Every structure is written in C-alpha cells, then in structure tokens.
Amino acid sequence: MVAEIKFCSPVGKWWFLSPYAEFPIKMEVDGMLYTFPTVEHYYQAMKFYATDERFNTILHLKNPDEARLITKTQAYKINRRLDFDKHKFDIMEKGLRAKFTQNPQAAEMLKATGNAVLIKSCPVCYKCGFGIGSGQNCMGKILMQIREELLSS
C-alpha cells in the first residue's frame, strides 16, 4: 500500500480527491436545496448568500476553476457573507463530506486509499494544502477523517 498520496488537480490517479472532481452534491443553503456540480462550486458559492446573483452565477458555471477565478475579480470581492472566512474550513469539510457520502463511487475510491497519508500538494495553498514543503494540509486531514468514518461504518 502507498504510504503517501499527494494530490492537487483533478487529473491523474488521485483525481477524485480534488474538490474540482465532478461529483455533484446536494446542499441546503439559506433554507433552499441546491445541486452543485463540484465541491469547489459549493465552496466558492458559499462566499455569498443564495439570494445574491453571484451565488447563482457560480452555481451554474461549467468549470470549477472558473468558479474559483471569478471570486478573485473585484465584483466578487465585495459584500460577501460576513462569516465566510470564519467558517471556510467547516464549509470545505461539509462539501467534502457530502461528496463522499452522496456519491458511492467516490466513497469506494476514498476507502481504497487504505491508510495512506493524504496530502493536498498544491504549491501555493498553505492552509488547505501542504504548500512547498510546509503548510497545514487541512484538506488532506479532512479527507483522512472522512475515510476513517467511511471505513468504520
């Protein structure tokens, strides 16, 4: 069994670990049920209230990278949810948990990683990922927790 699995983009052998991987998730947001094409769409949309037109724009973008990049534009940097930054890791965890509990194929692939240490190996992401030899690897830790839960259920 592999001791470490490093992942970043939705390509290659470990593509399914990425929040960009195309596994739709159904999530309740502001009292309404929405289907997001990817966890990344959900995460980026959660920067806004469901009544905000930017939320719906993100929800309907075809590409998860477009969802990430649009929130970097000036029009998407203002008037966000006041508590997003405080809860962003909880939002990512909720999205990832939904991905692996709502999509049996994704759950089986995650369980098949065994006891390997999962590392988001993105060179520019120091909190969610490992960064360049450093970082908190929050996403990897979340995935390993979800895997443990799936294996013990």
Q: For the segment 98-128, what is each residue's pLDDT rounded down to a tens digit?
A: 999 999 999 999 999 999 999 888 765 645 5
How far apart are alpha carbons 93 and 73 in whole angstroms? 25
What CATH number matches the domain at 4-152, 1.20.1250.20, 1.10.645.10, 1.10.3470.10, 1.10.357.40?
1.10.357.40
pLDDT per residue of the chain (153 residues) written in tens, 0 to 9: 679 998 887 778 999 999 999 999 999 999 999 999 999 999 999 999 999 999 999 999 999 999 999 999 999 999 999 999 999 999 999 999 999 999 999 999 999 999 999 988 876 564 555 455 566 788 899 999 999 999 998
Q: For residues 40 and 19, is the Cβ–Cβ distance under 8 A?
A: yes
Length of the chain: 153
Joined together, the tokens standing for residue 52 give 């905000």
Q: Cβ-count burial of 126 within 10 angstroms (0-12 exposed, 13-18 middle, 19+ buried)? A: middle
Closest to 103 in 3D by CA, of 22, 5, 6: 22
DSSP 127-138: SSS-TTT-S--H
The helix, strand and coil proportions of the chain, stated in percent and rounded to the nearest 5, come to: 45, 10, 40
